[in-house]
Structures are given as structure tokens and as C-alpha cells.
């Protein structure tokens, strides 16, 4: 099956329908056992878009880092997070939506139309929005948002790895790798762990028995 590159079709359709400021939104970090969930909102200038924009999962580290810098230099970018405590309090889906709303609010110029990766829309958005399944592989604006969110969160986890060594966050970004789960068993939990997630909850349960 041939993979197609994301394009500007969704953005153009929204612009043709009367939109003037169309931004893409994506998040990263729903699956990890530790760290925040991070979202980005990106408005791309149609006259100055970086070449090679692609779903962040299809890019290597060097390409993501390079595109991150290019996007930050030429686009309007908003970044938002929801903390592990917020994830535990409201669940990961709602925390992802919270991070998205914070990212949208952080844009310099408010958008009038949003393209959001996934099949559900957050509540209380500031403008009309469209959910796009696999949007990071279909829309250039969402692809750009996926790159910003991924690089930002990876950097956060690398910094947290220095504060809490031994969990391998600089390489696993908090995901439930064998190394990470073994480290939790050996070293215990940190304030960055999501206590509502089953592998973490199971350790808490075993510790209390």
C-alpha cells in the first residue's frame, strides 16, 4: 500500500468556506505511564511552509528536530500540556482535550477554524472544528502540530530523566517498555507517574498489601 503525504486540501476547503485562520491540532503522550500529555496547535502560512512536513511518527529524530525549528520560525504555534495529576483526576481523554484547548489558547492569533486529529472533538472550542481520523498523515497543519507536540514532549521527558534517573525516559519517553516497568518495580514511583494507569495502579495495590 502506497503511503500518501499530507497536503493542504482540508485547509483549502475550510478557507473556501469562509475561514481565514485555519489551524491544525494534535497531541502526543496518551499511552505513557509517566509525564504530561502534550498538544500543539499550528497555523501554517501557505506562502512559507517547510518542505517535508509529515506525520511525526514517520520521521526520524533528526528530521523531526529540523522541522520543529523550521515550523517555530515561520508558523503561529501554541503548545499546551496536562499534568499527570490532571490525567489522574479527569482521565486521559479529557486531559488530552484540556491540553488541546490550552494549545489553541496559546496561539498568537485566534483561529476561526480547527482541524483536529482523531475522531472526537473537545468540548468548549473557541471556533468551528473538524475531527480528521489519521489527520497527521492527511493534513499539513496537523502534521506540523504532531511534530511540535512530539519534539516538545520528548524534550520534557529527557529533562525529567535527569531529575529521575533510572527509568529510561530519555529513550522511552515514559511509555511502558520493559525497562520502564522494571524500573518502577525496583525504584518505586515518582511524582511524574500516572497513578490511574493500570500498570502503575497494580504496583500501588501490591505495595499496600
Question: H/E element holding 40?
Answer: strand 37-43
Distances (CA, A) of 154 to 25, 29, 87, 147: 18, 9, 18, 11
Handedness of CA 7, 28, 107, 52 (dihedral sign): negative
Handedness of CA 94, 95, 97, 101 (dihedral sign): positive
pLDDT-derived band at 207 (thresholds 50, 70, 90) equals low
Please calculate the CA angle 115-52-5 and round it to the nearest 5 degrees.
60
Domain extent listing, the chain: 9-207
DSSP state of 34: B
pTM: 0.95
pLDDT-derived band at 1 (thresholds 50, 70, 90) equals very low
Q: How many CB atoms within 10 Å of residue 168? A: 18
CATH architecture of the domain with residue range 9-207: 2-Layer Sandwich (3.30)
Amino acid at each position: 500500500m502506497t503511503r500518501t503525504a499530507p497536503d493542504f486540501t482540508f485547509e483549502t476547503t475550510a478557507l473556501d468556506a469562509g475561514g481565514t485562520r485555519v489551524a491544525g491540532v494534535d497531541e502526543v503522550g496518551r499511552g505513557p505511564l509517566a509525564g504530561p500529555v502534550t498538544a500543539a496547535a499550528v497555523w501554517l502560512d501557505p506562502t512559507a511552509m517547510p518542505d517535508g512536513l509529515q506525520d511525526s511518527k514517520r520521521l526520524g529524530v533528526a528530521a523531526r528536530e529540523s522541522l520543529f525549528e523550521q515550523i517555530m520560525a515561520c508558523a503561529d504555534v501554541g503548545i499546551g500540556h496536562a499534568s499527570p495529576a490532571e490525567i489522574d483526576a479527569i482521565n486521559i481523554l479529557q486531559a488530552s482535550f484540556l491540553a488541546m484547548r490550552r494549545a489553541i489558547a496559546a496561539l498568537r492569533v485566534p483561529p476561526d477554524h480547527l482541524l483536529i486529529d482523531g475522531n472526537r472533538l473537545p468540548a468548549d472550542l473557541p471556533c468551528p472544528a473538524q475531527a480528521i481520523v489519521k489527520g497527521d498523515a492527511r493534513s499539513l497543519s496537523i502534521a506540523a502540530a504532531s511534530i511540535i507536540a512530539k519534539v516538545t514532549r520528548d524534550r520534557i521527558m529527557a529533562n525529567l530523566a535527569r531529575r529521575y534517573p533510572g527509568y529510561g525516559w530519555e529513550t522511552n519517553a515514559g511509555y511502558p517498555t520493559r525497562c520502564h516497568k522494571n524500573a518502577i518495580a525496583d525504584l518505586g514511583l515518582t511524582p511524574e507517574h500516572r497513578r490511574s494507569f493500570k500498570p502503575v495502579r497494580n504496583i500501588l495495590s501490591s505495595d499496600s498489601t
